[in-house]
């Protein structure tokens, strides 16, 4: 029933199949998230913003969804993959609070070894990648550069991301890894 309230049902208006995946999410659309411990099963998030990122030949997107006082970021690669990440819109954690040192991050960036690990909140996180990336606010502009480090938990249920912008302290974020089809979009 909810879907019928927010989707056009006149099939003559559509020129092709309707994409209800997060790939199609745009400001003004609604999205739902299932399978997350973040307790978003009953929430319908209004997409407020869609951003784009690049790093080398890799591109990914994120949307900010809002439902009252609940705010979430959903992030996914441009190519269709089996998973995406979801995180609460919360204040980032600092390096000290996360128990991570700048020297360790710099060493891991130089080594680029998947044998490197971090311990955070009792869980082991394995180094995935690091490098320079560019942020395109609302998908526009020339892009603002920043540095990032990504680690995946064991088992693979969470991503720990460390971000460093110019003139801003290091920021640490933790996101849930969910199946790609756990997010549905209702186009407006």
* Secondary structure (DSSP) of 120-137: ETTEEEEEEEEEEEEEEG
Record the pTM. 0.86
pLDDT > 80? residue 9 = no
Phi/psi at 43 (nearest 5 deg)? Answer: -95, 145
76, two tokens: 């996914």
Over its C-alpha atoms, the chain yields an Rg (Å, rounded) of: 18
pLDDT per residue over 66-110, tens digit each?
A: 999 999 999 999 886 789 999 998 899 999 999 999 999 999 999
Which regions of 13-140 does DSSP assign to beta strands (E)?
Answer: 30-33, 45-55, 58-67, 70-77, 83-88, 117-120, 123-136
Phi/psi at 110 (nearest 5 deg)? Answer: -70, -45
The confidence score (pLDDT) of residue 11 equals 35
What is the Cα–Cα distance from 62 to 23, expressed in whole angstroms?
Answer: 10
| 4-18, 29-43, 169-183: range with lowest mean pLDDT | 4-18
**Among candidate residues 153, 159, 127, the one with its CA nearest the CA of residue 60:** 159
pLDDT per residue over 111-159, tens digit each?
A: 999 999 999 999 999 999 999 999 999 999 999 999 999 999 999 999 9
What is the Cα–Cα distance from 15 to 4, expressed in whole angstroms?
Answer: 19
**Computed from CA positions of residues 87, 182, 154, 117, in that sequence, does the dihedral angle turn out positive or negative?**
negative
What is the Cα–Cα distance from 178 to 157, expressed in whole angstroms?
Answer: 8
pLDDT per residue over 18-58, tens digit each?
A: 567 899 999 999 999 987 666 777 789 999 999 999 999 99
The confidence score (pLDDT) of residue 19 equals 64
């Amino acid at each position: 029933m909810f879907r019928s309230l927010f989707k056009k049902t006149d099939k003559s208006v559509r020129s092709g199949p309707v994409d209800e995946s997060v790939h199609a999410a745009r400001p003004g659309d609604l999205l739902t998230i299932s399978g997350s411990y973040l307790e978003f099963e009953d929430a319908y998030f209004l997409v407020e913003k869609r951003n784009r990122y690049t790093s080398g030949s890799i591109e990914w997107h994120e949307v900010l969804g809002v439902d009252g006082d609940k705010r979430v970021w959903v992030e996914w690669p441009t190519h269709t993959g089996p998973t995406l990440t979801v995180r609460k819109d919360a204040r980032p954690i600092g390096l000290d609070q996360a128990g991570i040192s700048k020297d360790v991050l710099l060493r891991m960036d130089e080594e680029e070894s998947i044998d490197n690990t971090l311990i955070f909140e009792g869980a082991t996180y394995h180094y995935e990648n690091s490098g320079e990336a560019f942020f395109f606010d609302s998908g526009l502009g020339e892009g603002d550069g920043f540095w990032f480090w990504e680690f995946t938990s064991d088992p693979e249920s969470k991503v720990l991301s460390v971000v460093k912008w110019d003139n801003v302290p290091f920021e640490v974020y933790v996101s849930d890894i969910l199946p790609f089809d756990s997010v549905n979009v209702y186009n407006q």
